[in-house]
Structure 1
Amino acid sequence: MPIQQDKGVNDANANHAVNMKFVTLMSIIAALGGLLFGFDTAVVSGAVGFMQERFSLNEVQVGWAVSSLIIGCIVGAGASGILSDRLGRKKVLIAAALLFIIGSIGSALPDTFSTYIIWRMIGGLGIGITSTLCPLYNAEIAPARYRGRLVAFNQLATVTGIFLTYFVNSGFASFGDDAWDVSTAWRWMLGIGAVPGALFMILLFLVPESPRWLIKQGRAAEALDILVKVHGEEGARQEVIDIKQSFQEETRGSLRQLFKPGLRTALIIGVVIAVLQQVTGINAVLYYAPEILKETGAGTNAALLQTILVGAINVAFTILAIWLIDKVGRKALLLTGSALMTLCLLFIGFAFHTDTSGPIVLILLLVYVAAFAISLGPVVWVLLAEIFPNHIRGRAIAIASMALWAADYIVSQTFPPMLKSAGPAPTFWIYAVMGLITVIFTWRVIPETKGKSLEQIESMWTSSNKG
């Protein structure tokens, strides 16, 4: 008890001295990896229709055109933990940016569908790494009081990237006639991603290494210099002591430690909530938004314009989540958002079942996206970045991210065949069942981590183990 009280006092002192300009700038730069994540995963939504005609793809191949990126993401996420624990967060993020640039350019040039798949997988390696390490980096540099919103910057960048792709797709599609779209427009849609990739790589040279990683490597003096810029002299010294203390029991992180009582609970929570974020259908909506809206009777151009509205709602409510997450807390946002998502999915399925399409489906989709944007979108990444102990965080978040991307792959690969064989109504009802499971799991299992330092969250798991 006295230790926790002392930590609380020290946290409060550190919070008063926080240099928010420095922390925010570093967090924004790191979060730009989320922009690449959002851009590259969603850009295919506008390109896939033209690619289907260009390469004469069937429904399974359409799903593969979208989900092949995710195979690379799974591998990248899996490797990110070991690589970043050995080489540091910063170096691995720079390498990921380079992979993204190469993948973007390569996927815009192929003359065969198989070649396109290879380049998309290479780009996916970079996306898998950034999706794992960007929120992790922000969690490791952020003060406890502001960690939720600073980590959630990553999700804001992600949905901004998604939003930008809708403008990019609509813009390139309007440059020429249908023949130009099929031959050329989709290439520009995919290739333009190299521009934000290059910007991200250049800006990464301005950010410092993660202070917690430096301390783990025995480079406490370097970490102190960074933490002084965040907390001030007094707060930084106490932060170094707290971080060192968290490494004392187990200085080497191994996968075996994750399956110990207490830490095993953290791993289960991380993996399950990561999977639930995807199987509630969000990326089926975001990746295939134009195709879904065409099912309501909208033409191609109208569907692309309505998709821009979906992206705008996603951005607006993610901004709202950033404002709320350190005020309301993680659990309350998850419960509210996932419950609303479940209701929307039920009603969307009912609308398709009764042929009540048109504007009602668009409205329900917008509410569904808004609910995701204030809950599962940002909160899951915040939880993954903060619930694991310092000595094992890189590898643990990599496992959870792999699970997330594997679930994303299943959803994106199965959605086109499900839409054709079962129809839209049963498809959305399946996602609604997943939404209900998310509500129950959040209510019964997920703890509140608002306002706790990473070291306090770690002690929560170890205390439950002793109990």
Structure 2
Amino acid sequence: MGAIEIANGENEKPKLNKYALGCAIVASLINSIFGYDTGVLSGANLFIKEDLKLNDTQIQVLAGTLNLAALVGSAMSGRTSDMIGRRKTIVLASLIFMVGAILMGYSPNFIVLMVGRCIAGVGVGFSLMIAPVYSTEISSSTHRGALSSLPELCISIGILLGYISNVAFSKLPLKLGWRLMMGVAAIPSIALAFGILQMPESPRWLVMQGRLKDAEDVLFLVCDSEQEAISRFRDLKAAVGIPEDSKEEVVIPPKKTASGAGVWKELFVRPTPTVRRIMLAAWGIHFFQHLTGIEGVVLYSPRIFKKAGIESKQKLLLATVGVGITKTIFILIATFKLDKFGRRRLMLTSVSGVTTALLVLACTLTVVHFSTKPLLWALCVSIISTYTYVAFFSIGLSTVTWVYTSEIFPLRLRAQGASVGVAINRAVTATIAMTFISIYKALTIGGAFFMFAGFSALAGVFFYFFMPETKGMALEEIELLFTPGGSKAKQQKTEEVGV
């Protein structure tokens, strides 16, 4: 019977469960608000600088504050989601975003603007962890890549909407335009907080709380067949340590399992060899993702295009919209292809393309820097290489990072392990955001992108050696990939099932 099921699984991929898709979409929308806050600042900072009479250092601090504050949110998010649940954590993130957006839209001065940006940053820390974790835990193994990449797609859509908002509100009076750009995000935050309450809780979190009947009910909603629901339910109980033959609707799990207590010790004090390998892979990917320079492109693309030769503010903003469109299109492509091509292949393709595009952009901007007259060809090559860079970043580094790190941690470590990854991610992002202008003034803008190209090459080496493929594997089996001799054990288990 097992052999027949495996044969059928190889010939026909199960259809995507529409209810699971709907849940993942709603959960992922929280990240579109973060994307909007990131994208809108790229154009808004031109007007904020003029209205509030800020210097470049203050603009860098404003850009990086969101990510520094996200460190606080990410530090709190893992334990919070283990205690109150994935769904309520998303609601909390929405409310935090709402307060931050209202303050930024009101901003009579730089201090209030910074406070609003900091509050929104805390929401970022929560949303970046919880959206992919919830989407991963609600998904089946055959479509987990697509559903858990939706948060990144929503970030990209949010960034694009931020760019469009820049163009739409740029014609308004100076004091009103940028405030509307920053404050309008409060509206979807309120709507999302209510919408999320209609979603079910993560079945994996419910099992951690011992709410077996509730978990089973959710699994029957998000699975395509009774057999799949039963199989996932059995694996979840085994992961938490609940006896397989338990028939109780509610059991009392170990206190540490229910609340997430003791996870920090398991991660940092007494990690097993398997957990160490998982941490290296998950946190290393987060570390390298933004060292490739994406924050410099997303936040400061108007400055890049200005250096290349575009002078008009409207043309700068329109060229930046192209960055958002490119990012969204290629993340959408990655969402549909992630479960077909796999995480590893897309990541290695992505980092190769990113490195090449960065080298071309760096060479072109260096020529422009030393030229005494405008160079039309250099302007065209700069725009094309920037869009190419964004396209390659989007198909792998952008999407795979969040999918991969939300699926490789064991259930008991997932939320808090992912939250550490978010903290690392935001720390690197804040560093790039707050130093990019200073770096390109010191090295020239071409030199800055040569530096990012070098980091991208190092990232490719890391991904090649420390990132095993997880495509199509059940969450409860992925741990074997990082266990010494685990790949052989996984293969033996598959052969025994086939027999």
Please give the TM-score of this superposition, normalised by the length of structure 2: 0.88
Question: Are residues 1:329 and 2:342 paired?
Answer: yes
1:73 & 1:389 partners in 2: Cα distance?
Answer: 24
Question: Are residues 1:288 and 2:309 paired?
Answer: no
1:272 & 1:456 partners in 2: Cα distance?
Answer: 21
Q: Which segment drifts farther, 144-153 or 451-460?
A: 451-460
The match for 1:58 is 55
2:122 & 2:399 partners in 1: Cα distance?
Answer: 22
Give matches, 1:144-223, under 5 Å. Answer: 144-175=141-172, 180-181=173-174, 183-223=175-215
Q: Secondary structure at the match of 2:137?
A: helix
The match for 2:433 is 412
Root mean square deviation, CA, Å: 2.2
Report the CA distance between 1:246 and its aligned residue.
Answer: 1.4
The match for 2:245 is none
Q: Is the 8 A contact 1:17 1:235 kept in 2?
A: no
Residue among 93, 109, 114 paired with 1:112: 109
The match for 2:362 is 349
Q: Is the 8 A contact 1:18 1:230 kept in 2?
A: no
Report the CA distance between 1:122 and its aligned residue.
Answer: 0.5
The match for 1:371 is 392
Letter in 2 for 1:197: S
Q: Is the 8 A contact 1:63 1:414 kept in 2?
A: yes
Q: Deviations over 1:338-363 (max 9, x none)?
A: 11101111111111111163111000
Letter in 1 for 2:205: W
Q: Which segment drifts farther, 231-240 or 157-166?
A: 231-240
The match for 1:224 is 216
Letter in 2 for 1:338: V
1:395 & 1:50 partners in 2: Cα distance?
Answer: 39
Q: Deviations over 1:28-78 (max 9, x none)?
A: 101101211211122111111111122222221110111111122111111
1:282 & 1:186 partners in 2: Cα distance?
Answer: 23
**Structure 1 pair 459–245 and aligned structure 2 pair: CA distance change class (3 A):** farther
Q: Is the 8 A contact 1:62 1:416 kept in 2?
A: no
1:185 & 1:40 partners in 2: Cα distance?
Answer: 15
Residue among 286, 301, 304 paired with 1:274: 286
The match for 1:39 is 36
Report the CA distance between 1:247 and its aligned residue.
Answer: 1.9
Letter in 2 for 1:295: K
Larger radius of gyration: 2
Report the CA distance between 1:464 and its aligned residue.
Answer: 4.6
Report the CA distance between 1:466 and its aligned residue.
Answer: 11
The match for 2:482 is 461
1:162 & 1:344 partners in 2: Cα distance?
Answer: 21
2:487 & 2:470 partners in 1: Cα distance?
Answer: 20
Q: Percent identity between the aligned chains?
A: 31
**Structure 1 pair 234–348 and aligned structure 2 pair: CA distance change class (3 A):** same
Q: Which segment drifts farther, 427-436 or 242-251?
A: 242-251
Please give the TM-score of this superposition, normalised by the length of structure 1: 0.94
Q: Deviations over 1:235-294 (max 9, x none)?
A: 212211101111229963512222221111111111110111111011110111112111
- Where does the alignment leave 5 or more consecutive residues of structure 1 unmatched? none
The match for 2:379 is 358
Q: Deviations over 1:412-436 (max 9, x none)?
A: 0000111223210110011101110
